Each structure stands twice: as C-alpha cells, then as structure tokens.
Amino acid sequence: MHILVTGGAGFIGSNLVDALMEQGHGVTVIDNLSVGKVSNIEHHLESDRFHFVNDSILNVSTLERLIRQADLIYHLAAVVGVKYVVEDPLTAIITNVRGTENVLELAFKYWVRTVIASSSEIYGKSTDVPLREDSDRLLGPTTVGRWSYSDAKAIDEYFALAYAKKGLPVTVVRYFNAYGPRLDPRGYGSVIARFIAQALRGEPLTVYDDGQQTRCFTYIADAIEGTVLAATVKEAVGRIFNIGAKRETTIIELAQLIRQLTRSTSEIVHIPYSSAYGLHFEETRRRVPDVTRAREVLGFEAQTPLEEGLRRTVEWFRGERVKNEFNQTQCIL
C-alpha cells in the first residue's frame, strides 16, 4: 500500500510515518516545514519506499499528483499550537480550512480512503466532562483569537462528514494532548515540552494561572495506534473518534512530576496567561475525553502510564540536548 501523510515531518506525523514504514508500506510525506522538521524524517530519506515533498497542501497541483498515486491518506498538515494560532490567526485559518478542503476534494475525486486529524480544541471551554464525540461545543467570542483554531477544525469535520455522506470513506480523529519524542517546545503540546526544557536547563517551570487546569495527556505511541486503527477498521468510516488517555492531570501536578523525573531543582512559578498570549485570552479548565466509542468500535484504549511516557520523553530531550551541544562544539572546533 502507498500512503500519503500530509504534515508528515511534524510531531504526530513523523511518528506515524515511523509506524507505517515499520509495517512495510510505501510512504510519501508532503510538508512545507513551517512547523515540521526534516530531522524528524531524515532517517527515512535513503529508503526507496519513502518520498519527501517540501511543499504546501495549498498547492493544489502538487497535492493532486500525490493523492492520485495514494491508496490511503492521513491528513495531519495544519497550523497547530495555541501560540501560533494567536500570533497569526489568518495563516492558521487559511491553512487549516482551505488545506483540508483541498485534500478532501481530491480524495473524493480519486476515491482515496482518508483520515482527518482534528483536535480536542473542538470542544472549546466546555467542562461537561467526559467529552463525547457528540458533546456540545462551547466557545468564546470571535474577538478571542484562540477559538479560531477550534472553529477551523470544526469546519474541517463538517467537510469530512459532508464528503462521507457522498460516500467517501473518511474518518476523523480528535487528539487529546499527545506528547512524546519530537515534541516541539514552541508548538503542539508545548506544556510538556516547555516544562522538560525548562527543568533540564535549571530554569523556573512557568505554570499559567493557578495550575489547576486539567488535561488527559496521551503518549504518542498510543495516539498512533488509534490513528492507524481508524484507517483500517471498516466500521470507522464516516465517524469521529476521541483519541486520548483517561487519566486527568492538573498542570501543577504535571510540573511537579517532570521536575521529579528530571531530578531538577527548578522552582515552579505561576504567571498570568497574558504574559504569553496577551490580554483577553481564554483557557479551558478541564478537558477529559469519553473514549467509549474508540474502545468499542476501534478496539483502542491508551495504555501508556503518564509516568512512563514522560520518562521516555525526558530521555529523548536529554539525547537531543547532548546532540545539539556536540554539534555546537563541532562548529566551534
């Protein structure tokens, strides 16, 4: 099978590529590297089963050529991360909406099975937990830019479900705070990456507000397992699935756990959201998935304990730190 992964040089995308290559598939990645990194996929570049295209999903001619050759599409290309969205909402909206429209239109034209990556941001600031796939959404005003990402992903889902009604075999997966190796401190899932980076540098761990906000952090290997199942289980077609862990953790607990795992002496300090995101920023207090549908239809349930997943992630960050220091030394020499 030949598989197209949009955004395949990003955090989730590159980990998905690893799994698909390990399964023996041919894989093509299209990524404009606005967020993704070649270093995430460089270990595949010499393989004759792997092809990398440095381009945007907004380039319809390139996208059409790749989709025409694909047996399956995983669409993960997007502008992700609250900070990116707040700083440049226009780029985020255009990429996340028009890009997905392009993918689905061409997938329908060539009748290619497609998995669309969505987000738990869909639910906005609803605290009616656990959040089911059909739960109501609760958002703030349009003057608060962070909600544009939620709306963009909702439009993506509307597109997907509309094409599903026309017969396209398409499935939507909503990720809940995926984390693990290759996590970028500047982008998606940045709270874990930021805490680890700060702890390893001996800097204060910066917790926004009171730190009592909760999330269900999902280790990347589990997220990838759920994603692959969404593409292979026949009953998944035309449906939406929460892909997340069940354990609810406060941000202050997360900071304490990371400080413990890194053996850091860093202090934990509380700062206002406005220091990072400006005035009028709104946050979600609780975000917990109902994973019943994923368990019953996909046979999926996240298995990696938070402590184990964080330990692996810390190890990766340590390795990257050593590698970067070595590279800097080589440059000096």
Query: DSSP character for 286?
Result: B
Give the residues across from 53 on adjacent strands.
30
Q: Where are the alpha helices (DSSP H) in 176-288?
A: 190-201, 220-232, 251-261, 274-277
Whose tokens are 């953790």? That residue is: 249
d(CA 62, CA 82): 29
SS3 helix, strand, coil % of the chain, rounded to 5? Answer: 45, 15, 35
The residues facing 28 across adjacent strands are 4, 51
Position 327: which residue type? Answer: N
Alpha carbon separation from 304 to 217, 222, 245, 309 (Å, rounded): 10, 7, 8, 6
How far is Cα of residue 50 from the mean position of the Cα atoms in its chain? 22
Residue in this structure with the two tokens 């975000």, named with its chain if needed: 287
Active site residue 149: yes
Rg of the chain in Å (alpha carbons): 19
Q: Could you tell me if 177 and 218 are in contact, meaning their C-beta atoms sit under 8 angstroms apart?
A: yes
Q: Which one from 84, 149, 188, 219 is the annotated catalytic residue?
A: 149
Please give the Cα distance from 213 to 95 (Å, whole number): 29
Which residues make beta-bridge pairs with 268?
Answer: 205
Active site residues: 149
